[in-house]
Amino acid sequence: MPTLVIDGGDSPPWLREASRAIAAATPGRAAPHVGGPDARRVARGAGPVLRDYFA
C-alpha cells in the first residue's frame, strides 16, 4: 500500500527518527523531508510534496 511519511526540519530528533523508522519498515513508501521552523511553514512546504505524491 502506498504510504507517505513526512517530517519537518525542526521536528524533535525523536520524531525525525520515528519517521525514518516507519519509512524504512514500509514497502512502497515515499519519505520526503520538509524543512521549516514551525508547523505553518511545514504545512506550506508539504503542499508540493502532497501534490506530487497524489499526481
Q: Give the chain's radius of gyration (CA, Å).
A: 11
The pLDDT value recorded for residue 34 is: 67
The pLDDT value recorded for residue 43 is: 67
How far is residue 51 from each of residues 10, 25, 48, 54, measured CA to CA in Å? Answer: 22, 24, 5, 5
Query: Rounded to the nearest 5°, which phi and psi values hold at 13?
Result: -55, -40
Q: Give tens-digit pLDDT for 1-55.
A: 778 887 777 778 898 888 888 888 888 777 666 666 555 666 677 788 788 888 8
Q: What is the DSSP string of 7-55?
A: EETTS-HHHHHHHHHHHHHSTTEE--EE--SSHHHHHHHHHHHHHHHH-
The pLDDT value recorded for residue 40 is: 60
